[in-house]
Structure 1
């Protein structure tokens, strides 16, 4: 049986973040994820999770300027100290909230001549964070993002993630596979999932090309979700899309997959 979580950073955005927990439970879900939860205190989040009987299954390490058009944090050689401070912040939240996974966004490199240095820094930081989180029983994941939405993104394919996993070879590290981003890059998502689900710690989805809910674009979710359900994958599948109308209407479009 598939396990779906709702991403509260993109869904129910007509409400303040602290009210979206209740909205997710009222919509019939028992798990949520948040891109960056740090605008809420640990105690606020714990209270909401307890009150509404929810699991928080995933959130991200701070990515600095990434969502504002900058390069981010995890791969910039000059920001290693800042990245480690971000890891400590995330550790405080992770120890209290016990997510299944913590995601690290590689970020962008706008100077192609520095890409090798950025990749090396990212791998060093990724291994550092994985070591810090693994003793809590939390999987560290990292994500490839399409370069149409984010030009210069450092990791932009499933194969690039597979290569990094092989190079770092840490049992606490896995991929976060985002169907929308990889479909946008022209990847054969079904083929990749069929081959590499054992290396994936978390899945996210949105339709493509518009990043709306399933049924708003061209992705064959019936095939992809069926493939996942028949596999040995037992992780969470995060709804990380931008509703084409309001969130509740968007959820109705893919209720039959649950």
Structure 2
């Protein structure tokens, strides 16, 4: 059956970040993921993982000034030096924390910027990151994000992301498939996952509308999770949703939908 990782950016967020590891373990999770570790000391996160027997399965490359609304800088031609310094920082954290894969957020396309320039910048940056990560024994992911939640996000559809990965041409670069974002942009969840399973390096979930836990919206997660399992997906599924009424109160979906 599917293996679920708690996304600590969104789950258990009623307590400080470093206390969420204990809460995730107490709730029965064996793995966690989160957006960024960079505001915390590596050894402190490592200690929380070890103390609670948790595996860290994913975090993101640095993505610019998050508090000011930036959602990645990989497609921005005037931020290439910053992006590449962030790759080095992310690798340092990944090697210390034992995370095997890092996700790249492409960022929002600035008004008036030539699309060909944005694409070339993103491809160059992805190639650079893939080369650096390969040397460290790590995989790189590229995630499409829906443009309803993040207006102007540059990579928003599965086919677009896969075409970019084809252009990058690196064997350690894969698709991060977020079910919620894919549902908002294109639907066809079961068929798309089946068609591209070999290229999917990580899956995340939330229901729609609302981005709450599975079972609260329109996505038939009872079917979809069994479908993913039948296809032979052996990776983790990150629970990147907003709890509708508190994290613990909403966790019963795990047993209900995969029973």
Q: Structure 1 length normalisation: TM-score? A: 0.96
1:246 alignment partner in structure 2: 246
1:154 alignment partner in structure 2: 154
Report the CA distance shift for 1:39/1:66 in structure 2 as closer, same or farther (over 3 A): closer
1:218 alignment partner in structure 2: 218
Q: Deviation of residue 168 (structure 1)?
A: 1.8
Given the alignment of the two structures, is residue 135 of structure 1 paired with residue 135 of structure 2, yes or no?
Answer: yes
Q: Tell which deviates more after alignment, 58-67 or 99-108.
A: 58-67
Given the alignment of the two structures, is residue 32 of structure 1 paired with residue 32 of structure 2, yes or no?
Answer: yes
Distance 1:219 1:71 in 2: 26
Q: Name stretches of at least 5 consecutive residues in structure 2 with no aligned partner.
A: none
1:82 alignment partner in structure 2: 82
Distance 1:103 1:67 in 2: 19
2:5 alignment partner in structure 1: 5
Distance 2:136 2:233 in 1: 21
Matches within 5 A, 1:221-236: 221-236=221-236
Is the 8 Å Cα contact of residues 177 and 202 (structure 2) preserved in structure 1? yes
Is the 8 Å Cα contact of residues 32 and 54 (structure 2) preserved in structure 1? yes
Q: Tell which deviates more after alignment, 23-32 or 83-92.
A: 83-92
Distance 2:222 2:138 in 1: 30
Distance 1:250 1:150 in 2: 25
Report the CA distance shift for 1:225/1:79 in structure 2 as closer, same or farther (over 3 A): same
Distance 1:113 1:137 in 2: 34
Q: Deviation of residue 136 (structure 1)?
A: 2.7
Given the alignment of the two structures, is residue 91 of structure 1 paired with residue 91 of structure 2, yes or no?
Answer: yes
Matched residue pairs, number?
258
Q: Deviation of residue 65 (structure 1)?
A: 2.9
Distance 1:103 1:30 in 2: 20
Q: Structure 2 length normalisation: TM-score? A: 0.96
Please give the per-residue CA displacement for 1:166-198, whole angstroms capped at 9, x wherever unaligned.
222211010000000110113211110010011
1:124 alignment partner in structure 2: 124
RMSD: 1.4
Is the 8 Å Cα contact of residues 91 and 136 (structure 2) preserved in structure 1? no
1:110 alignment partner in structure 2: 110
Q: Deviation of residue 214 (structure 1)?
A: 0.5
Q: Secondary structure at the match of 1:131?
A: helix
Where do 4+ consecutive residues of structure 1 move more than 6 Å? none
Q: Tell which deviates more after alignment, 48-57 or 157-166.
A: 157-166
Q: Secondary structure at the match of 1:120?
A: helix
Is the 8 Å Cα contact of residues 139 and 174 (structure 1) preserved in structure 2? yes
Report the CA distance shift for 1:113/1:241 in structure 2 as closer, same or farther (over 3 A): same
Distance 2:71 2:90 in 1: 20
Q: Deviation of residue 46 (structure 1)?
A: 0.7
Q: Secondary structure at the match of 1:177?
A: strand
1:201 alignment partner in structure 2: 201
Report the CA distance shift for 1:111/1:250 in structure 2 as closer, same or farther (over 3 A): same
